[in-house]
Structure 1
């Protein structure tokens, strides 16, 4: 094949391959290998440790689906924490909710923020919004030190390797429970059911043991392994399945919608079997 191609190996025997026009930046940060590349099919793309994190073309799916199901489930979210997510996409979506007075981003790797602002401005463009506080810090430790502070907590992490590994442990979810207010909600990306079934089962079990209400939902993200992605939501009081569709604001989104809110919780049988 002519040209330069990047392959993310998703298992020992399977990967996704993307044609690269050029490398915009490459660096070994304090925490991980960071590459920003320009692709033929998906525009500028952020890679961390050889894994696709986000791209200009399909980023809206992931960022909308991290933010909006939880924020439409909580009746009045004012304080929101995003752990990870240094590209700023989840923050951008959070700010579409007028009730949110303060959104805190805690990203361990400041280089992710720096180069997202430079090469992914449509994603990172709200990080300087006055309603946003950006902290370059360890998200795990921030959670442990926070008590009864947040209405909604969103965990926008990489896969459970390297600096993100502690963000998939039961103790982290217990810390999230304590950092939430009495009717708080949290959501985390929980990978794909084709190659990470064990991870989904473990996370769901851990969250169920801590939160009274636990729900899993899915979205389609073409640049992520298998294209089918899961999210796990834990809530102290409010059930996303009980949200009245008529009460969901039709925000300026490209993927999430009032109709999709409930539909995303309708799981294929093999995914449903993992979480029951």
Structure 2
């Protein structure tokens, strides 16, 4: 090792999870670091994960693996619903979920409701890989509270995606009964709602609560898993519920995925079906609320 290398200062971003786990990412340079009304926002260039967005020191996305999260939050519902034309995304100011929705030719309008304008600005300036989608003419960006939006709007949607942060601070109401009752009201008769649902390793009680709320509100609910390099535990979940009792397995046509001509890096018909096969401990904890296939 040269003297120059020995004397170089190494900078690391640290994420602490539930006071029992620490994740660290080596930083090459800081691109954006500001305190908004809601949270601290940092965008950094890392050694192994490309550019990463942190909200209050919690990793939101990385360029290396964001495609997994965004493909899995968007495409299962898009291929189960007969034809999404209007979609609402709550949160997701990085733009990745919107990007995936826009790949489907049926989509005519996507409204993104993001509470923090600084997230939008930071991602537009420094993570165009995801945020460039926000400038598509089919997209309408609303800066505001998603909870208030679904309570007050008269608009109706085929798909609502709750692309939320962890259930702390302003995101907490996005996991509650009143919120999902209002989501049901903004969905069309065959509408679907998909929500970020944390990790079964660390938030199984939260998943129980979400499944109970969704099954009570919509009559049936499912939960499915995906892997992610930069989230604690590596195995995280989304919930799926539908006003029309659409089934994410029974109403999926694999040929429709093939006929779409879309190419994916993670999602596939096989991954779609496998995602709904839960680890036994998770299945045991949630079976009471899981709808039939």
TM-score in terms of structure 1 length: 0.97
Other-structure match for 1:224: 231
DSSP-derived class of the 2:24 partner: strand
Say whether residues 1:121 and 2:128 are aligned partners.
yes
Other-structure match for 1:240: 248
Say whether residues 1:103 and 2:102 are aligned partners.
no
Q: Counterparts of 2:29 and 2:285 in 1: how far apart (Å)?
A: 40
Single out whichever of 235-244 and 128-137 deviates more from structure 2.
235-244
Query: Structure 2, unaligned stretches of length 5 or more?
Result: 1-5, 288-293
DSSP-derived class of the 1:75 partner: coil
Say whether residues 1:13 and 2:20 are aligned partners.
yes
Other-structure match for 1:51: 58
CA RMSD of aligned residues (A): 1.3
DSSP-derived class of the 1:275 partner: helix
Match of 1:264 among 254, 275, 284: 275
Question: CA offset at residue 250 of structure 1?
Answer: 4.8
Question: CA offset at residue 197 of structure 1?
Answer: 1.0
Query: Structure 1, unaligned stretches of length 5 or more?
Result: none
CA-to-aligned-CA distance 1:106-141 (integer Å, 9 cap, x gap): 000011111101110011111110111111111111
Question: CA offset at residue 86 of structure 1?
Answer: 0.3
Rg (Cα) greater in structure: 2
Question: CA offset at residue 148 of structure 1?
Answer: 6.1
Q: Counterparts of 2:151 and 2:20 in 1: how far apart (Å)?
A: 38
DSSP-derived class of the 1:201 partner: helix
Q: Counterparts of 1:148 and 1:263 in 2: how far apart (Å)?
A: 34
Please show how residues 29-178 of structure 1 align to structure 2 within 5 Å: 29-147=36-154, 149-178=156-185
TM-score in terms of structure 2 length: 0.91
CA-to-aligned-CA distance 1:145-187 (integer Å, 9 cap, x gap): 1346000000001000011111011111111111101111000
